[in-house]
């Protein structure tokens, strides 16, 4: 019976692949007239996709940005046609106007639903809209303002932890700031997001939940090829039956991911049940929990209990949001922060100017939410880093039906004709070039590749404001736009600004070790040939001139 089942799966998969991919070899497409790089040294098996998933694929992306006018035809695996897009009008149609035609790819949705449950990253269409309707108010500025004390408390712990690392040394010390920022990001998400403490920072505290979370992203990268096969595997039988099949897969990485997911799910359920019990017991019980009921999960549970039956989310989906929020928010913001520290270390004049602004505003105390968000240079430093070095450089979409994609600027087709719009067939992979949009010289000017926080202190060029880039944040695609824009972008901004404010108590200088930024689902730094994320910086205590 089992052999027949496997045979059926194999035949179904082979038939699907033959239809989906090899038809593109013989069937002509309107995409063939769109300009793009030729296949040279790339394998036919992977096509240009091998550059998009290469940790050192920066030059390929830079060439697309510099050589093409907002839209490029690429060749994917086995001749599959793909579009790489950074034209503002085209992006608006993809993420806003026709967002339900350009949906997330099958491998993206299916893998996140399998790993994290039915949270925002694992749902589509009306299901996704219902979830966002419940979640949007939870991430409001009002709630972010209420959580400011949590952010400040964790910032103080980070400051104390780094001071302890410097204690006993006469001068600056080299520290792996990636490790410290990642730990801080996890604790911020834990306390402000879930009402749970993962890591006190000032002391070592083993936590299997925290360990599983830290191992999730590296293990996911190792499974990137297998993730792309998921959409073509039929979902036979019950979830229990499919789990048994999963346990039989003789692959160490698959089994490691299964163990990670089991731990995250089990602890998420435990935290969820504790929160429900506290809410049912009343406000007094809630205030005794970590976060004192100000955390996002407590607010979400209250809102869900008060919602109508039609709008209420089932427990399974609420638990899925917990896992999703942790995974979507931890590595992205922590690596954006690490990139900012790297740039500040290399630009001491910017570092000094930022420190002066923060010290003058804080006067030795904590910054309240409104004061923190009113600091123009801190805001400029954050915006410029998120523009130049977005942690997610591209987003894959897939057309659910035939659609026409209009362009803001016409392009010259391979046949010499002027193209104002492109008919895009169903099942076409469309890649939003987030990094390319943020670094497009036609929009941002000839200095688009330079890190210049000052650009945000005066009115932006008309080329930026008139481009009408559909990003949710500051003319940038960093947090995307439309119905699948990053729901936690205000949380991310809050986290970045609090941590940077704390770290102005220290001086930062580059290490002599070679730093390499890896192009990945989430951009991250390594040292030399190591695969472990690291950012060594030389850190010292700041001493005002009057103290010398």
Position 435 scores a pLDDT of: 98
CA distance 189 to 516: 27
Position 17 scores a pLDDT of: 58
Nearest to 439 by CA among 89, 64, 95, 74: 64
CA distance 272 to 313: 14
Position 69 scores a pLDDT of: 95
Position 531 scores a pLDDT of: 83
Low-confidence ranges of the chain (pLDDT < 50): 288, 290
Strand partners, 74: 82
> Do residues 432 and 394 touch, judged by C-beta distance below 8 A?
yes
Q: How far apart are the first and last CA of the chain?
A: 81
| Paired tokens of 305 | 């209990």
Which DSSP string do the residues of 1-68 spell out, in sequence order? Answer: -HHHHHHHHHHHHHHHHIIIIIHHHHS--GGGGS--PPPSSS-TTTTTHHHHT-TT-HHHHHHHHHHS
Position 250 scores a pLDDT of: 83
* Alpha-helix runs per DSSP H in 77-200: 88-92, 106-116, 125-135, 141-146, 148-166, 177-188
Q: What phi and psi values does residue 128 have, to the nearest 5 degrees?
A: -65, -40
Nearest to 217 by CA among 321, 326, 316, 105: 326
Tens digit of each residue's pLDDT (9 = 90 or more) over 218-253:
888 777 777 766 555 556 656 666 667 777 778 888
Q: In what order do the strands lie in the sheet with 536-541?
A: 173-176, 536-541, 506-510
CA distance 177 to 168: 19
Position 547 scores a pLDDT of: 56
Position 283 scores a pLDDT of: 58
CA distance 119 to 466: 35
CA distance 113 to 100: 18
CA distance 332 to 486: 11
Radius of gyration for the alpha carbons in the chain, expressed in angstroms and rounded:
24
CA distance 146 to 157: 19
Residue 232 burial class via C-beta count within 10 angstroms: exposed 0-12, middle 13-18, buried 19 and up: middle
Q: How many CB atoms lie within 10 A of CB 54?
A: 16
Position 364 scores a pLDDT of: 83
Position 510 scores a pLDDT of: 97
Torsion sign across C-alpha atoms 532, 329, 206, 200: positive
């Amino acid at each position: 019976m089992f052999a027949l089942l496997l045979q059926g799966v194999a035949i179904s998969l082979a038939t699907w692949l033959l239809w989906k991919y090899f038809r593109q070899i013989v069937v002509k497409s309107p995409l063939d007239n769109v300009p793009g790089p030729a296949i040279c040294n790339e394998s036919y098996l992977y096509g240009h996709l091998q550059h998009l998933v290469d940790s050192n694929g920066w030059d390929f992306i830079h060439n697309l940005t510099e050589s093409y006018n907002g839209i490029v035809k690429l060749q994917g695996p086995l001749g599959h046609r793909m579009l790489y897009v950074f034209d503002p009008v085209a992006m608006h149609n993809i993420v806003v106007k026709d967002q339900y035609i350009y949906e997330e790819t099958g491998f993206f949705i299916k893998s996140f639903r399998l790993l994290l449950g039915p949270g925002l990253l694992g749902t589509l269409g009306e299901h996704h809209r219902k979830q966002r309707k419940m979640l949007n108010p939870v991430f409001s500025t009002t709630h972010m303002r209420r959580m400011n004390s949590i952010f400040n408390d964790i910032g103080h712990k980070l400051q104390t932890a780094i001071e302890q690392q410097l204690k006993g040394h006469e001068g600056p010390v080299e520290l792996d700031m990636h490790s410290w920022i990642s730990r801080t990001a996890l604790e911020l998400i834990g306390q402000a997001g879930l009402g749970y403490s993962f890591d006190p920072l000032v002391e070592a505290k083993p936590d299997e939940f925290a360990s599983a979370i830290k191992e999730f992203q590296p293990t996911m990268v190792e499974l990137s090829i297998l993730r792309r096969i998921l959409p073509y595997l039929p979902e036979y039988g019950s979830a229990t039956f499919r789990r048994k099949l999963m346990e039989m897969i003789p692959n160490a990485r698959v089994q490691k991911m299964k163990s990670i997911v089991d731990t995250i799910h089990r602890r998420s359920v435990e935290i969820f049940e504790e929160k429900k019990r506290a809410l049912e017991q009343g406000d007094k019980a809630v205030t005794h929990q970590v976060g004192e009921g100000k955390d996002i999960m407590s607010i979400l549970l209250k809102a869900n209990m008060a919602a109508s039956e039609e709008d209420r989310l089932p427990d399974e989906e609420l638990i899925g949001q917990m896992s999703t929020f942790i995974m979507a928010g931890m590595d992205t913001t922590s690596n954006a922060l690490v990139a900012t520290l790297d740039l500040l270390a290399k630009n001491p004049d910017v570092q000094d100017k930022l420190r002066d602004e923060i010290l003058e505003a804080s006067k030795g105390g904590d910054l309240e939410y409104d004061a923190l968000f009113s600091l123009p240079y801190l805001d400029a430093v954050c915006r410029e880093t998120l523009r130049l070095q977005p942690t997610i450089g591209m987003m894959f979409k897939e057309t659910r039906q035939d659609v026409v994609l209009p362009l803001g600027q016409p392009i010259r087709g391979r046949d010499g004709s002027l193209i104002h719009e492109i008919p895009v067939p169903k099942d076409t992979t469309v890649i939003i070039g987030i990094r390319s949009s943020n670094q497009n010289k036609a929009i941002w000017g000839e200095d688009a590749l330079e890190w210049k926080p000052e650009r945000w202190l005066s009115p932006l060029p008309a080329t930026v404001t008139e481009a009408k880039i559909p990003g949710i944040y500051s003319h940038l695609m960093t947090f995307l736009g439309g119905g699948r824009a990053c729901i936690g972008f205000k949380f991310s901004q809050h986290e970045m600004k609090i941590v940077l404010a704390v770290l102005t108590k220290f001086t930062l200088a580059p290490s002599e070790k070679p730093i390499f930024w890896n192009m990945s689902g989430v951009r991250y730094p390594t040292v030399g040939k190591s695969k472990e994320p690291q950012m060594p910086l030389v850190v010292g205590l700041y001493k005002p001139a009057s103290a010398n």
